[in-house]
């Protein structure tokens, strides 16, 4: 009797363990697909890089962005859960100009804020957008309207015609620290 109860409990727990331990699905969500499929019009040549392609949870991450022309920079990512977050600029009114042909590190080396790899493990689609005018990101890419982005640009701005912009993307992977 005791053995059959133990067996029954194990059979009941196996689906829970499998569900809990399963990695995130490999299929990318609609936000990932939309960002990945965006193509710039060639107004800016943007390079986006990171020192590594894989990070352990808890490690600090930094990015280097270069634009061939002066502009305004936004840096964001699409999470493994397909949520879009804008991580730069940090706050409304913050300076986010990027000078032409000068690599810009985010976060800056001398800053007191850091970007750390956080759970869950999985792939992140990092994106850098550079535009000629300081307009809300949602004006350039209409489907991006994250809460943070709305807080950053809470005024309606008359764009005054089409603003030139471009995008660069990069995929990094966040992994569990298996110590």
Residue 36 lies in a domain: yes
Residue 16 lies in a domain: no
- What's the per-residue H, E or C state across the chain? CHHHHHHHHHHHHHHHHHHHHCCCCCCCCHHHHHHHHCCCCCCCCEEEEECCCEEECCCEECEEEEECCCEEEEEEEECCCCCEEEEECCCCCCCCEECECCCEEECCCCCCCCEECCCCCEEEEEEEEEECCCCCHHHHCCCCCCHHHHHHCCCCCCCCCCCCEEEEEEEEEEECCCC
Residue 69 lies in a domain: yes
Residue 5 lies in a domain: no
Residue 41: predicted pLDDT = 79
Residue 13 lies in a domain: no
The CA distances from residue 150 to 51, 64, 130, 141, 153, in Å, are: 30, 25, 18, 13, 5
What percent of the chain is predicted at pLDDT more than 70? 73
**Could you list the residue range(s) of the whole structural domain that residue 72 is in?**
26-175
Residue 13: predicted pLDDT = 37
Q: Residue range 44-71: average pLDDT?
A: 96
Greatest mean pLDDT among 20-34, 36-50, 96-110, 128-142 lies in 96-110
Number of domains comprising the chain: 1
Residue 44: predicted pLDDT = 94
Residue 24: predicted pLDDT = 40
Residue 2 lies in a domain: no
Q: pLDDT digits over 104-160, tens only? A: 999 988 888 899 999 999 999 999 999 998 887 777 777 665 444 434 333 333 333
- Lowest pLDDT segment from 2-6, 43-47, 89-93, 134-138: 2-6
Token look-up 């964001």 returns 76
CA distance 38 to 166: 9
């Amino acid at each position: 009797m005791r053995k059959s109860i133990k067996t029954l409990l194990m059979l009941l727990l196996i689906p829970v363990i499998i569900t809990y331990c399963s990695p995130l699905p490999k299929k990318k969500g609609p936000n990932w697909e939309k960002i990945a499929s965006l193509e710039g019009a060639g107004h800016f040549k943007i390079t986006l890089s990171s020192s590594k392609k894989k990070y352990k949870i808890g490690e600090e991450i930094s990015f280097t962005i270069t634009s061939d022309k002066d502009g305004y920079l936004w840096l964001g990512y699409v999470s493994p859960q397909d949520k879009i977050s804008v991580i730069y600029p940090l706050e409304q009114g913050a300076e986010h100009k990027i000078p032409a042909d000068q690599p810009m590190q985010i976060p800056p080396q001398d800053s007191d804020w850091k970007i750390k790899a956080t759970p869950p493990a999985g792939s992140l689609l990092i994106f850098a957008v550079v535009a000629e005018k300081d307009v809300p990101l949602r004006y350039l890419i209409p489907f991006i309207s994250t809460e943070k982005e709305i807080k950053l640009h809470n005024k309606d701005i008359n764009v005054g015609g089409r603003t030139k912009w471009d995008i660069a993307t990069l995929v990094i992977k966040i992994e569990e620290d298996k110590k």
